[in-house]
Structure 1
Amino acid sequence: MRVLHVVTLMSPDGRYGGPVDVAERLARATRRRGHQVAIAAGATGFHGDEPRRRDGVAYRLFRVWGGGGTTRFSRLVAPGLWMWLWRASRSADIVHLHLSRDLIMVLAAMIACARRRRCGGVVVQTHGMIIPSSSRLARAVDALAIRPTLRMADVVLCLNPEEAAQVREVEPAARSRLLPNGVETVPRDRRSDAKRRDAGRAPARREVLFLARLNARKRPLDFVRMARELEQRHPDVVFTLVGPDGGEADRVRSAIAAARSSAISWEGAVPPHAVRARIAAASVYVLPAADEPFGLTTVEAMACGVPVVISAGSGLAEAVESASAGIVYDDTTGGLVDAVERLLRDDGLAQAMGERGRELVERDYSIDGVADRLLELYPDLERGESRFRALWVTNVAAPYRVPVWRELSQLCDLEVALLEDDARLSADVAANRGADWRSDRVRDVRIRSLPTLRVARGEARFYALTRVPRIRQDAVLLGGWESPAYWQLLLVARLTGRRVVGFYESIQRTQRHRRGPIAAARRWYFRSLDAVVVPGVEARDALTAMGVDAGRISVGFNAVDVADIHRRATAAREPESAPGHRYLYVGRLIELKGVDLAIAAFARARGPEDTLTIVGHGPLQGDLRALAVRLGIGADVDFRGPVENADLPEILARHDTLVMPSREDVWGLVANEGLAAGLHVVVSSVAGVAASVSGMRGVFVVAPERDALADGMRASARSWEGPIAEPEILAHDPGAFARVFAAALRPPCARSRSRAREPQAS
């Protein structure tokens, strides 16, 4: 495969910053995997020593004009690059554009999109540079070039959900996918005194380092203010700024001069190849940037085992904080001072955070892992298989379904259409939905609400469209069949030639209508679909019993974000458990869930110090409390009330066995959550999940009866040896489920496009 990266500017001092670093890292990693890779860019500052080939990557650099200074990238022009790209793009399988609002990249993007049919695919990576702007010039550039480029690109790579939302605000049709930046990992024995001496500083003197462009967004003046506060308290520490001028150099010089301290200095820029060694020489790395989309040098510091201090506005803030790989401060100078001083005063804390930062990089931000994810995408683009668009229609934004949508968004251009809007959902007290069910809390999936009329019947909600939308996607997934809205959309999809896929979760035991007109309508509906996705074998059996062709049924495994639950539960778990066995029920307090059976079974099975916690609420709460008192276990049963999904892993971590006593349950995703947290699970044999998890460690499938549940709870307590470290459920994550949906949704034309394409001549 032939891959061409295009970036605005290369220079010996690396003044263009992150996009060049990312392009080079991805290019080297792609080349190591046997592909042909080239980088094309404007060039300045070279004097006959510009690179032609490094690490097997070819460089095509072209002279630039204009700019009026080193920081005016938007005004640079590179006619030679544009003319070369017009010819070269036809022989590339992938053109990878590192896009920004400058003349070089704007015209390069227009050329690549104009030649799109002659190359395999166009990838755009925005690096946080394509955000909504009120500037008239920016709006004009967006209308003429940026928005068409985002629309035509096969995929737009974004660093995080926030950037993806910003890109979609600029162009709603952008096919965004998430791809973090990555760095080469550092062997643990490489951060040595010799490396410090190579960086020009004796190892005996500690250093707090700022390494970035000196521009206003990076806030180098905040670093100087912090240094002035701390340099007298810590005479053994030096505070150094390293990086090219980005418009703030004069102010930084003045602030350093006013400090009158030899401990504070600005060294200027270092060449890109020396950045890692320079960071590794530091004791603490500080990046006080506001609204930093990622922070590649922060990742470099963590890779070297250097503890980091970053602001809450950094795109890495959540990852660093959750991994305890550094300190995230509150965007104030006082907060910055306190954070740096904590690390200077506590060497043990600094070392521990440095090690956790290294582990975080190895797990999530290694360039090899990032390149592998990118190379999974490239072949699909080369074959033209990733350009299909899908519409998923369902009633509400269930929080357990959002991770699957996120993963599916990485495999196709996905839009989710809801039949229930947030305002109506919040006002519906009987629906029993918390704030985590609101769609406006989902920032990394494109979601809209359809205009509907709603009829409530008990707990059921039925919807009819008041205005049938145009379906612009290639395929439609219908998340139900009972509401008229699904039938309306099925008709529109059929009339417009769209592929229609159903999602069916019910099992035969939960079907209300086995005969009669409703059962006949259900059979006709699912037989008419192109494909149906089911979450388990019991739902598959229900469809085949209706006469649906088994070849059109795709069997997945109903999924929640098991990796996140496992990580958070493990982090929250206390090293020593409380005495006794701790049972847990999570769900609604209604008849079908069998909570009364769990309480009665606990009364029979409990040991002297055992407890039962009940999480959830519903109309039977008063009756269940009275039952516990009547059975003499009122003091041992704790009714916690409802909790949001985000708080559930911490609750799971404080318990040993999850009890799911359902009298009837289509699936029972709480079983997935309990297993992901390492718990044992006593699960009702009539729940849809039972057949799919029955062979996993810690699972006890029992009949939904008091004595059978009590036997299962006793067996769980007897065999309990602590949380299961690597539960089998981790293999059944949202990504695996999303791939099942993607395979069912992908139109036949997208599958066969690779066979229809002929390779272009070099």
Structure 2
Amino acid sequence: MPRCSVVLLLNFVPPYRVALLQALEREVRRLTVLVSTGMEADRSWKTDWRGLDVRVSRSLTLPYRRRHPDGFREDLSTHLSVDMLPRLCALAPDIVISSEFGARTLQACLYRCLAPLLGRRTRFLVWATLSEDSERGRGWARRTLRRLMAKRADGAMTNGESGARYLESIGFAPERIFRVHQSTDLDRFASLHTAARLPREASRAVRLVTVGSLIPRKGLRPFLQHLIAWCETNTDRVLSWRLIGDGPERTALEELLLPANLKLTLIGDVAYEDVPSLMADADLLAFPTLADEWGLVVNEAMAAGLPVLASTRAQATGEMITDGQDGWLFDPTDPVSTETALGRALNTPAASRIAMGDAARQTAARFSHANTARRMIEAIEAVWDQ
């Protein structure tokens, strides 16, 4: 296909996605990114688009609360972009890629229907960053609207097999679904050297790190209860758990009574560029999420050479981690599963953890921005040639 113009519709541009969009920009004739907001209010990141053509649309932000079938609640917001359709008409892109399945994607779908009447050849891709766990309990109205959009879309990009199964369930044909994994800037994290995690058998302390918002969905309080129980049983061992991030769960975490051999450190929000250095001296990443459409911190930790004690409720876990090789897997809703995986991870000798970290780094190398951009281009070419 000829080098085409692409318009990408997003909520906002997070810092971990800038390098990927730059890689995509190099492969197309023109890339324009239309966002609903410069930065979401609950994010501590600074806006930095680094030369990308990013334009902020006029939007209404509506907060709402969602209760997941697993019992936790989320305070979320939806952005209603009121001028997306006229902006698309003015830009006249060859390819429209819209993230998620909300109002902006509906306007992209309408543009796809209007384009032939305007004498334009346009293709429309949904960028569905979701999983079966993240979408459970969404409701019949949302599912019905998604089925309608699936009929008009030329294809969908999703981040893994769970996402692909969900897309098939709402009407996408398998040949119109393209696997486009989430990726991170490997160089930023791969610069950490395993020398920072040399075996320390004399102290017998294990250092865990977790990165992310302190919200119920991340499963932090239940996981801390498991750590407390483990430390009370293994009084001769010492654990240190560092949490990087902030949120409404902070107070509840601080109020829990901890045994003397468990140290909890709440770092709070930090700049994205400071995260790698705060991972450098950890022995493993703990990721006890109750539902995540991917879990990019898994990529980051594995790129930094950390094995991952990971929840199976995140799609990154199924796509990246081999149990016992570069991490340990558990179901956070199953106490026995959690306790078993926790015991295996904490009783793994330090030298073996470092070897697992080396294996994790090799796995992470396959999830590069270059590979993700290549898969996006393949999806664009496939729908263009339909």
Tell me the TM-score normalized by structure 2.
Answer: 0.84
Q: Secondary structure at the match of 1:478?
A: strand
**1:611 lines up with 2:221 in the alignment:** no
Distance 1:660 1:389 in 2: 38
Cα 1:449–1:747 change in 2 (3 A) is farther
Distance 1:551 1:625 in 2: 49
Q: Which residue identity lines up with residue 403 of structure 1 in the other structure?
A: A
Equivalent in the alignment of 2:212: 587
Deviation at 1:471, TM superposition (A): 2.9
Distance 1:507 1:614 in 2: 25
Equivalent in the alignment of 1:309: none
Deviations 1:88-137 (A, max 9, x none): xxxxxxxxxxxxxxxxxxxxxxxxxxxxxxxxxxxxxxxxxxxxxxxxxx
Quick check: 1:572–1:653 contact (8 Å CA) kept in 2?
no
Equivalent in the alignment of 1:394: 10
Deviations 1:558-582 (A, max 9, x none): 1111233112x22893767694111
Distance 2:81 2:55 in 1: 16
Distance 1:471 1:631 in 2: 57
Deviation at 1:512, TM superposition (A): 4.5
Equivalent in the alignment of 1:306: none
**1:701 lines up with 2:325 in the alignment:** no
**1:480 lines up with 2:100 in the alignment:** yes
**1:653 lines up with 2:280 in the alignment:** yes
Distance 2:18 2:60 in 1: 24
Deviations 1:517-564 (A, max 9, x none): 321111111232111001111100111122210000001221111233
Deviation at 1:735, TM superposition (A): 1.1
**1:728 lines up with 2:355 in the alignment:** no
Which sections of structure 2, spanning at least 5 residues, go unmatched?
Answer: 65-74, 116-120
Distance 2:96 2:304 in 1: 34
Q: Secondary structure at the match of 1:421?
A: coil
Equivalent in the alignment of 2:80: 463
Choose which of 408, 415, 435 in structure 1 pairs with 2:45.
435
Choose which of 681, 696, 711 in structure 1 pairs with 2:340.
711
Q: Secondary structure at the match of 2:237?
A: coil
Quick check: 1:404–1:734 contact (8 Å CA) kept in 2?
yes
Q: Which residue identity lines up with residue 78 of structure 2 in the other structure?
A: R
Equivalent in the alignment of 2:59: 452
Distance 2:294 2:78 in 1: 19
Equivalent in the alignment of 2:32: 415
User: What is the correspondence of 1:245-394 to structure 2 with a 5 Å cutoff?
Assistant: 385-394=1-10
Quick check: 2:196–2:281 contact (8 Å CA) kept in 1?
yes
Equivalent in the alignment of 1:260: none
Equivalent in the alignment of 1:678: 305
Deviation at 1:414, TM superposition (A): 1.6
Deviation at 1:514, TM superposition (A): 6.0
Q: Which residue identity lines up with residue 396 of structure 1 in the other structure?
A: F
Cα 1:748–1:659 change in 2 (3 A) is closer
Quick check: 2:239–2:261 contact (8 Å CA) kept in 1?
no
Deviation at 1:710, TM superposition (A): 3.4
Equivalent in the alignment of 1:757: none
Distance 1:395 1:572 in 2: 39
Q: Which residue identity lines up with residue 210 of structure 2 in the other structure?
A: Y
Quick check: 2:12–2:37 contact (8 Å CA) kept in 1?
yes
Which structure is richer in relative contact order (CA contacts within 8 A, separation 6 or more)? Answer: 2
Distance 2:168 2:58 in 1: 34
Which sections of structure 1, spanning at least 5 residues, go unmatched?
Answer: 1-384, 753-762
Deviations 1:34-78 (A, max 9, x none): xxxxxxxxxxxxxxxxxxxxxxxxxxxxxxxxxxxxxxxxxxxxx
Cα 1:552–1:575 change in 2 (3 A) is same
Q: Which residue identity lines up with residue 462 of structure 1 in the other structure?
A: H
Quick check: 1:594–1:662 contact (8 Å CA) kept in 2?
yes
Q: Which residue identity lines up with residue 449 of structure 1 in the other structure?
A: V
Q: Which residue identity lines up with residue 678 of structure 1 in the other structure?
A: G
Distance 2:200 2:244 in 1: 20
Cα 1:574–1:679 change in 2 (3 A) is closer
Cα 1:562–1:706 change in 2 (3 A) is farther
Choose which of 11, 16, 22 in structure 2 pairs with 1:406.
22
Larger radius of gyration: 1
Deviations 1:324-360 (A, max 9, x none): xxxxxxxxxxxxxxxxxxxxxxxxxxxxxxxxxxxxx
Deviations 1:221-254 (A, max 9, x none): xxxxxxxxxxxxxxxxxxxxxxxxxxxxxxxxxx
Distance 1:615 1:518 in 2: 34
Q: Which residue identity lines up with residue 45 of structure 2 in the other structure?
A: A
Equivalent in the alignment of 1:252: none
Equivalent in the alignment of 1:573: 196
Deviations 1:143-183 (A, max 9, x none): xxxxxxxxxxxxxxxxxxxxxxxxxxxxxxxxxxxxxxxxx
Q: Secondary structure at the match of 1:583?
A: strand
Equivalent in the alignment of 1:520: 144
Deviation at 1:515, TM superposition (A): 5.5
Choose which of 355, 379, 386 in structure 2 pairs with 1:744.
379
Q: Secondary structure at the match of 1:744?
A: helix
Deviation at 1:464, TM superposition (A): 2.7
Aligned residues: 353
Distance 1:612 1:421 in 2: 33
Q: Secondary structure at the match of 1:592?
A: helix
User: What is the correspondence of 1:46-85 to structure 2 with a 5 Å cutoff?
Assistant: none
Distance 1:639 1:514 in 2: 32
Q: Secondary structure at the match of 1:448?
A: strand
Distance 1:636 1:464 in 2: 45
Distance 1:748 1:613 in 2: 45
Q: CA RMSD in A?
A: 2.4
Deviations 1:584-618 (A, max 9, x none): 12111111110012211222334623211111111
Q: Secondary structure at the match of 2:166?
A: helix
Quick check: 1:559–1:737 contact (8 Å CA) kept in 2?
yes
Q: Which residue identity lines up with residue 22 of structure 2 in the other structure?
A: R
Q: Secondary structure at the match of 2:275?
A: helix
Deviation at 1:683, TM superposition (A): 0.8
Equivalent in the alignment of 2:173: 549
Q: Secondary structure at the match of 1:544?
A: helix
Cα 1:500–1:506 change in 2 (3 A) is same
Of all paired residues, the percent bearing the same amino acid is: 20
Distance 2:291 2:154 in 1: 29
Distance 2:308 2:180 in 1: 21
